[in-house]
Amino acid sequence: MVLSDKLKQLRDERNWSQRFVANLMNVHRTTISKYESGQITPSYQALNQLASIYKIDASELISELGESVPAPSQPYVLNENNFDHDMDLIKQLVDQSPDLKKALLELYNLDEKTQKLAIQLFQAQMQIMKKR
């Protein structure tokens, strides 16, 4: 399978939007679109990041590249400043709670005004729960 098709398939299987994947990678949505249309080839680091997001072995994506992108001589290590401990905790929480994941995906698909209202309601509810 062509890499671009594989990336689209992985995203579609999860019912994720390009915008959602782009936010996870901290890139613009058009970057994901270009990966999936074959207009640009993801870097080795981007492939590793996509593999992590899709929870697959990176070799599944890298093998689709063939000889077009050589593997780096040293493993890719994220800059310490790019690590967000809070996001790691949130990811663990979402992984442990399918209902929370579903609710957050529903929140993501709301318009911006409704998202803000839902977040305010959630924050108010959390304050009430803390007082108990």
CATH number of the domain within which 37 lies: 1.10.260.40
Q: Is the same domain home to 37 and 75?
A: yes
Print the domain residue range for 114: 84-132
Q: Is the same domain home to 57 and 8?
A: yes
Q: How many domains does the chain have?
A: 2
pTM over 0.85? The answer is no
Final residue in a domain of this structure, among 59, 80, 101: 80
Q: Is the same domain home to 70 and 21?
A: yes
DSSP codes joined into one string, 15-69: T--HHHHHHHHTS-HHHHHHHHHTSSPPPHHHHHHHHHHHTS-HHHHHHHHTTSS
Chunked into runs of 10 residues, the chain (132 residues) has average pLDDT values of: 89 94 91 91 89 90 63 47 69 86 85 90 90 84
